[in-house]
Amino acid sequence: MKHSGYFHRVLEQTQTQFWINSAILSDVETALAHGAVGVTTNPTHPPRAIKADHDIWAPVIQEILQHNPDLTDDEVADQVTQLMAVRSHKLIHQLYEQSKGEFGYVAIQGNPFINDDLPKIVAEATRYSELGENIAVKIQSTAVGAEAVEELTALGIHTICTNGFSVAQGIHMSEAYQRGLDRTDARPRCFVVNIAGVFDEYLGEDAAARGVTVSEECLQHAGVIMTRRLHHVMKARGYAAYLLAGGSRASHHFSELVGDDLAVTISLSHATPLVETDAPVESRIDAQPPPEIMKELEDNFPDFRRACDEDGLGPDAFAGFGPCVKFQNACEVGYRDTVEAIRAERTADSVHS
């Protein structure tokens, strides 16, 4: 049965996929009704879900603590993260089955403090992969992350290469995935992330820190331009990896990337205006930015030039690239917030005992 809603029409007319970026139950359910075909989260999402769905998650945490009082806060956080992924998995698994694995993936991302430890990354991802056949494990787009993606692909595990803010990272992770495919007859999926909205935000902060005055319009174009560049490079090179744009900060971070076989993950707050206005479906993935906008970005932002250049960054520079550091810091803060929420429930449990 065909649907007439905006995101349904986008998928039917252009193949561009809408993925919802949330662990909040009502967000996921609403987005799926609007045509979302994937669910992503990062470590900033569990604490939001614990707060928004406290009636769901407080009893879950309490039960974990009561049955396993000796678990550390990190171990409880790990269990809660898995249970949130399983909840989304149950909501979307039928779509995965009906589409024979084309749609219906659920992201999971664990402890952001183990990003440099290859054995721990692989062990955690292997555990997570057992949660469901449509689970895709988020791995950092770094030199170590590329090693992990190769190993996990060879093991038949779906991956999402997160914290991507440059064409060079997308190339490096796509090639790591290909090396993994060459080692196995399995065909797990790999989604290469490029985070447009957070990149815009980073450049704005960078300009302010350096005392550089730029137009708001140029900042609204930057991440979209970078993502389009990566899309065209991946397409031209015939990579098997699938582009997943993310990090929305406004509705245009979806609508300006529509037009080809890629996925874009956005929050419900940015998806809703597109649904409510019943926006027209317009292919924008090949659109060219105004020359004056490109000049302003290239003249004022060395990091914009690095992000858009295929050779702008080497693998050893990925983790320390400004926007990657910003996003990693946010994930670490989110993870700490989850641990604090668990500690609060542990305290509440001891008070009621």
φ, ψ of residue 180 to 5 degrees: the values are -65, -40
| Confidence at residue 247, expressed as pLDDT on a 0 to 100 scale | 87
- Which CATH code of 3.30.200.20, 3.20.20.70, 2.60.120.380, 3.90.700.10 fits the domain covering 6-344? 3.20.20.70
Q: Lowest mean pLDDT of 145-149, 216-220, 286-290, 349-353, name the range.
A: 349-353
Is the per-residue pLDDT at 244 higher than 90?
A: yes
Asked if residues 268 and 251 have their Cβ atoms less than 8 Å apart, the reply is no
Per-chain mean pLDDT for the chain: 96
| In the predicted structure, residue 349 carries a pLDDT above the cut 70 | no
Structural domain boundaries in the chain: 6-344
Residue 314 has pLDDT above 80, yes or no: yes
- Burial class of residue 348 in the structure, from the number of CB atoms within 10 Å of its CB (0-12 exposed, 13-18 middle, 19+ buried): middle
Note the pLDDT tens digit of each residue in 126-141: 999 999 999 999 999 9
> Can you tell me which residue has the tokens 């561009």?
16
Q: Count each helix (H run) and each strand (E run) in the chain, helices first.
A: 15, 8
Mean pLDDT of 308-330: 98
Q: What is the pLDDT of residue 351?
A: 46
pLDDT in tens, 52-111: 999 999 999 999 999 999 999 999 999 999 999 999 999 999 999 999 999 999 999 999
Q: Tens digit of pLDDT for each residue in 164-216?
A: 999 999 999 999 999 999 999 999 999 999 999 999 999 999 999 999 999 99
**Position of tokens 């009906």?**
98
Q: CA 177 to CA 161: how far, in whole Å?
A: 10
Provide the residue type at 198 as one letter: V
Mean pLDDT (whole number) for 37-54 = 97
- On the question of pLDDT at 353 being above 60, the answer is no
DSSP label of 16 = P
Neighbours of 102 (CB within 10 A): 12
Write down the pLDDT at residue 1: 42
20, 264 in Cβ contact below 8 A?
A: no
